[in-house]
Amino acid sequence: MIKRPEEIALLAESGRLLASVFARLDQLDLAGMSTLQVNDLVDSFIVNELGARPASKGQYGYAYALNASRNHVVCHGVPAATEILQSGDIVNFDITLEKNGYIADSSKTCLVGEVSPQAKRLVQVTCEAMWKGIRAVRPGARLGDIGHAIERHARRNGYSVVREYCGHGIGRDMHEPPEVLHWGKPHTGLLLQEGMVFTIEPMINQGRRDVETESDGWAVVTCDGQLSAQFEHTVAVTRNGVRVLTLRAGEKGPD
């Protein structure tokens, strides 16, 4: 569970490369593109330009480089040539990248074209909730502090937090201990120690928190059909606080 400094350096390199994938996504005009087109661009960029590996490809039998979760899809949306992004959509791209044997994991909910104020607010609050959780990370804090910070911010803004899916430890394997819940009570749960590396990835719903899995066995959707958004970073517990290993250009960071 505890990573050595040299391992964190390798994880940070994977995180830096993954951040550049999201910088590439930011350059795209998503309206009119299929989610499969986005997947194929990301796959090619990771392999041919970064010399890395899309870590989700082949994991658990999954065939793609990313998850594309649009509007009421909470997570695990499968890219498809028939799913065309349209102005007004929100879409989460969840991407993992492996370099030198170490995996970084990050996601971002993108606004496609002209998005309603209600959708824009959900996306903004979800991003803020992730950062609230990240800012709770420090040696001596507990996992419950992270979840409490996230859930409190979501609930104060009238939203609900999905409970069926959570963050996780990460390193040579995509999913390692501990589980990082996005709700909880302060001062409870596992004690955070320097060298821990895990993801924080809240999924926040406009309506009820209830979700269900579609017939494809992958896509998870809101039961009430309302929107869901997600943001994710891979973080390391440092001596003085937290380091965001997947920090993207233009992001302010935890301070």
In the annotated binding site, the residues are 76, 94, 105, 168, 175, 201, 232
> How far, in Å, CA of 35 to CA of 66, rounded?
9
What would you report as the CA-atom Rg of the chain, rounded to the nearest whole angstrom?
A: 17
> How far, in Å, CA of 182 to CA of 35, rounded?
27
> How far, in Å, CA of 111 to CA of 239, rounded?
36
Question: Could you give phi then psi for residue 49, rounded to 5 degrees?
Answer: -105, -30
> Known binding site for a divalent metal cation: residues?
94, 105, 168, 201, 232
> Known binding site for substrate: residues?
76, 175
Residue with tokens 């569970």, as numbered in its chain: 1
- What H or E segment, with its residue span, contains residue 38? helix 35-44
Burial grade of 114 (CB within 10 A; 0-12, 13-18, 19 or more)? exposed
> How far, in Å, CA of 181 to CA of 160, rounded?
14
Asked if residue 37 lies in contact with residue 80, where contact means CB atoms within 8 angstroms, the answer is: no
Asked if residue 68 lies in contact with residue 79, where contact means CB atoms within 8 angstroms, the answer is: yes
